[in-house]
Amino acid sequence: MENIGYIVGGSLEKGVQIKLNVSSEDIAVGNLKVANGIRRKYLLLLNNIYHGNMDVANKLSSDSVSSSLMDIMREEILPSYATGIVIAQGDNDKVEEANTIPDYLSSVTALTMNDVKIFYGAPDENNFLKLSFGSPIGIENALIPVDIPMLTKSSFAIYGKTGTGKTVLGNIIAINIALYTAQRKYTGDHEYPPVSMLILDMHSEYGTTVKDMYGKQLGDGVARIMPSEFIVYTPDEELAKISKKDGYPMYMLKISASEIEPQDIILMSELLNLTDIQTSTLQTISEQIQQIAKEIKEYEYKDYPWITYLYDDKLYEKLISELTEKKGEKEKKKLDSKTILTIQSLHKKLSFLKNYKFIEKKGEDKGIIDSIVESLLGKELKHIVISFGAYGDDVRAYTLVTNMIARRLLENAIALGLQKRELTKRIVIFVEEAHKFLDPKLKENSPMGKIARELRKRGITLCIIDQRPSQIDPDVSSMIWNTFTSVLGDENDIKAATINLTNSKLYDPIIRSLTRQNFLAYGDAFRFPIVVKTIDYSAYAKRAMELYGKIRASIKSIDETLRSEI
């Protein structure tokens, strides 16, 4: 076991100081080390590395010092130091959060495979309660498990700049939740609650294939790894055709215009640049338009949903013509001039809806969204993915559909509660670009925000995926019990991502130094904070297929045993 240094000072609040016996180039911020104290072991997470005697170094040049002399000088004259956050302490197999620090001159050594198991546990591929998601930096052979029941008990978050691997990690977590639920579903294990996922797949990497930041395919998304456990919808007809050709059918996500309510448009007010007058009068205007639509005599224009008269050009023209009523030689306006001007402005701002082929002007009042919500809240253990395909780059389409689903889910879940009916499972909603739905400015209106704040105790939580954690409502952030965060640069984002950590400021340099696919993970699903490199996705996708096959095979074996006993 390599001795890399020894403790020479520090505190629990600011971290301990380690004098290094090795070159500063042999260790890195984010590494885990063990301090061997007098009575117990301590787990250290390195958060800084620095040199200690610059005055002497400035008087020397590297050319004048031999390597053997440099080794001596490094030990005696030119020492390097590291600081480590004391995150845990252990006595034999008993481990707990640190409440003291290792004594002076305690040796600091590299983490062993056994240390990893003692402090973090090991994956469980029998009961599927704890499944791997990555390895400690520098110990690629060790696997760190995430506790699925603990993870899904409350909302959790995946943060990081664009291109850091959030979607890859999201798929790994979704795979683990799907395996965990399959085990409960097929074995009848009711000790831990099963989980249904709703994945709002903005860039279609959960429902099709996962790609790296350069567009290279890494493997199938979670829905293709276990296709019989998932129902995949898409508003993109072309994606549905391609997916069917590949052997993975998708259902078309169709929305009737009658399902769109004023509140759905109001929630997009900032995105659509709606004025205060437009948002405050939209409910009334929708009712006025619907009344006028009933009075239209021509069948081809009559009785369409209110919003179609604002985005469809022909229906809009008919609406405007209906607003003026002739009585003899006099004309009478059905609405006041301010309202008419507001309608004209709304037409310009909502005309983009006519380009959405998934919106049907006259469809069923009860459509696909109701079916999705009923499936989620029902007893069926299926996961639902909505892959947006070509609409994934259209933030208006993504926002509209997401808000409509969230609103229906919120309303139906509250109705179940009023009927004293409890869910038989947990529900986790994966939402990308989460700040668009959890912005503090939307606090009173956002259905996704209300789900996060009000439905946790009923078993509905969020997987918040975002690159700007500082734009998430603080009330929602305070309810996040587990966090995976990759590199962030903005001070406010780092503060928001570490808000639930003890001595959170100590983790700033770690987050700033993280590289792609490296995440600081903390919360009650991991025992103790840790920096991991996410598991190789291609290999894990194949392993997941094997594990899923193992679960299904065990059911077949149970069935055969029961038949033989009969």
* Cα–Cα distance for residue pair 108/21, rounded to 1 Å: 10
559 vs 511, more confident: 511
* Cα–Cα distance for residue pair 32/4, rounded to 1 Å: 12
Q: Stretch 78-101: mean pLDDT, rounded? A: 92
* Cα–Cα distance for residue pair 24/42, rounded to 1 Å: 21
* Cα–Cα distance for residue pair 417/421, rounded to 1 Å: 6
Does 566 score more than 60 pLDDT? no
| Each residue's pLDDT tens digit, 398-422 | 999 999 999 999 999 999 888 878 8
Q: Which band of pLDDT confidence, cut at 50, 70 and 90, is reported for residue 562? A: very low
- Structure-block tokens of residue 49: 């590395």
Sign (positive or negative) of CA dihedral 221, 225, 230, 235: positive
330 vs 491, more confident: 491
Q: How far is CA 27 from CA 20, 48, 109, 135, 143, in A?
A: 10, 10, 11, 16, 20
pLDDT the model gives residue 53: 73
Does 125 score more than 50 pLDDT? yes
Q: 7-16, 164-173, 557-566 — which is least confidently predicted?
A: 557-566
Q: Stretch 102-120: mean pLDDT, rounded? A: 94
Q: What DSSP letter does each residue of 507-540 carry, written as one string?
A: GHHHHHH--TTEEEEEETTSSS-EEEEEPPHHHH
| Mean predicted lDDT score pLDDT of the chain | 91
H/E stretch holding 481:
strand 480-485
Does 216 score more than 80 pLDDT? yes
pTM, to two decimals: 0.93
Taking every pair of Cα atoms in the chain, the longest distance, rounded to a whole number of angstroms, is 109
Q: How far is CA 170 from CA 174, 217, 400, 494, in A?
A: 6, 16, 22, 20
Backbone phi, then psi, for 147, in 5-degree steps?
-80, 105
Q: Which band of pLDDT confidence, cut at 50, 70 and 90, is reported for residue 561? A: very low
Q: 97-111, 319-333, 394-408, 480-494 — which is least confidently predicted?
A: 319-333
pLDDT the model gives residue 64: 61
Q: Which band of pLDDT confidence, cut at 50, 70 and 90, is reported for residue 2? A: confident
Does 456 score more than 60 pLDDT? yes
Q: How far is CA 325 from CA 296, 313, 319, 331, in A?
A: 12, 21, 12, 6
Q: Which band of pLDDT confidence, cut at 50, 70 and 90, is reported for residue 85? A: very high
Does 529 score more than 80 pLDDT? yes
Q: How far is CA 462 from CA 200, 429, 474, 477, 493, in A?
A: 11, 5, 15, 11, 19
128, burial (CB in 10 Å: exposed 0-12, middle 13-18, buried 19+): buried
Q: What region does 30 belong to: left with phi over 0, alpha with psi -120 to 50, or beta?
A: left
* Cα–Cα distance for residue pair 456/369, rounded to 1 Å: 22
* Cα–Cα distance for residue pair 44/32, rounded to 1 Å: 6
* Cα–Cα distance for residue pair 14/344, rounded to 1 Å: 61
324 vs 254, more confident: 254
Q: Which residue, among 40, 32, 132, 122, has the nearest Cα to 82 in the 3D structure? A: 32
Crossing angle between the packed helical segments 337-350 and 313-322, to the nearest 10 degrees: 180
* Cα–Cα distance for residue pair 33/280, rounded to 1 Å: 58
Q: Which residue, among 465, 454, 473, 468, has the nearest Cα to 410 in the 3D structure? A: 454
H/E stretch holding 7:
strand 3-11
Backbone phi, then psi, for 387, in 5-degree steps?
-90, 120
Task: Provide the percentage of residues in the chain whose pLDDT is more than 70.
Answer: 91
Q: 72-81, 538-547, 550-559 — which is least confidently predicted?
A: 550-559
pLDDT the model gives residue 441: 83
Q: What is the residue type of 27?
A: I
* Cα–Cα distance for residue pair 536/277, rounded to 1 Å: 52
pLDDT the model gives residue 442: 78
Q: 292-296, 390-394, 541-545 — which is least confidently predicted?
A: 292-296
Q: Which band of pLDDT confidence, cut at 50, 70 and 90, is reported for residue 559? A: very low
Q: Which band of pLDDT confidence, cut at 50, 70 and 90, is reported for residue 425? A: very high
pLDDT the model gives residue 148: 97
Does 542 score more than 60 pLDDT? yes
Q: Stretch 214-243: mean pLDDT, rounded? A: 95
| Each residue's pLDDT tens digit, 266-302 | 999 999 999 999 999 999 999 999 999 998 888 888 8
pLDDT the model gives residue 238: 96
Does 69 score more than 70 pLDDT? no
Q: Stretch 526-552: mean pLDDT, rounded? A: 95
pLDDT the model gives residue 563: 46
Does 332 score more than 90 pLDDT? no
